[in-house]
Amino acid sequence: MSGTQLSCIIIDDDEIDRLTTQAYAKKYPFLNVAGVFSSATQALTSVDQIPIDVMLSDIDMPDLNGLEFRRKMMKIPVCIFISAYPDYAADSFEVEAFDFMVKPLKKERFDHCMARVQNYFDIKRKAHLFEYSLGNSNTVFIKDGHEQIKLNLHDIMYLEALRDYTRIVTSGKKYSVLSSIGNLLTENAFQSFVRIHRSYAVQRHYIERFTSQEVFLQNISLPVGRSYKDVLVNLK
């Protein structure tokens, strides 16, 4: 990540679990542990004073639990819950959790999570370097630094939603733009794209075949979301 550090907080009312998480986190140079708290209430009074990139939090805590804390702190980009209760997993993703790990915490699982975190912020940082601007009805310009990269809209196979940015995929390369997939699809230039999933929109002429669960384009298969199955009817 080119030396960039991410500010991180750890919240857990169990001292052993708290120290374990802290020990794992300290092994990653890109993580700066800015605060360690024994309760979400304690963290709440401190977090507003410093910008936080990552929170590693227990859920089942007295007074203010981890889910309630997250609802108050949705501005923290990456929320990772560490809980002894797997049943909390579904609730955690309703508050946009980035990951959910089950106690006792295992090194391999933590390593996997941190790799995902690093990749997410790497891509997000690169996305901030990109701007997109629409040219004529057949092209889109991707701005990378001082360079304008001209793409033919015909060459774009599909769009992939990745939180607050969108990956534009051609047969030869992938680009990231700091715009949601929903916003892109409202542009006239992207009217030939079909939304097949919350995370995917495909260009019609690349669709080779499809089932009720997948859309196939060249050597790629993409999932069809439940709420998007009706759009397939119009493709027949």
Q: What is the pLDDT of residues 129-168, one digit of tens each?
A: 455 555 555 777 776 556 678 888 888 999 999 877 888 9
Can you give the pLDDT at residue 132?
52
pLDDT at 126 over 50: yes
Q: Given this model, what pLDDT does residue 205 score? A: 86
pTM for this structure?
0.58
Q: Output the six-digit token pair for 128.
A: 């901030």
Distance CA(28)–CA(89), nearest Å, equals: 25
51-82 burial, b at 16+ Cβ within 10 Å, e below that, comes to ebbbbbbbbebeebbbbbbbeebeebbbbbbb
Cα-to-chain-centroid distance, residue 14: 29
pLDDT at 183: 83
Say if residues 95 and 79 touch (Cβ distance below 8 Å): yes
At residue 2, the 3 state secondary structure works out as coil
pLDDT at 34 over 60: yes
The band of 127, judged by pLDDT with boundaries at 50, 70 and 90, is low
Could you give the CA distance from residue 114 to residue 99 in angstroms, rounded to a whole number? 10
Domains of the chain: 6-105 (3.40.50.2300), 129-235 (2.40.50.1020)
pLDDT in tens, 70-111: 999 999 999 999 999 999 999 999 999 999 999 999 999 999
The per-residue pLDDT of the chain, averaged, comes to: 87
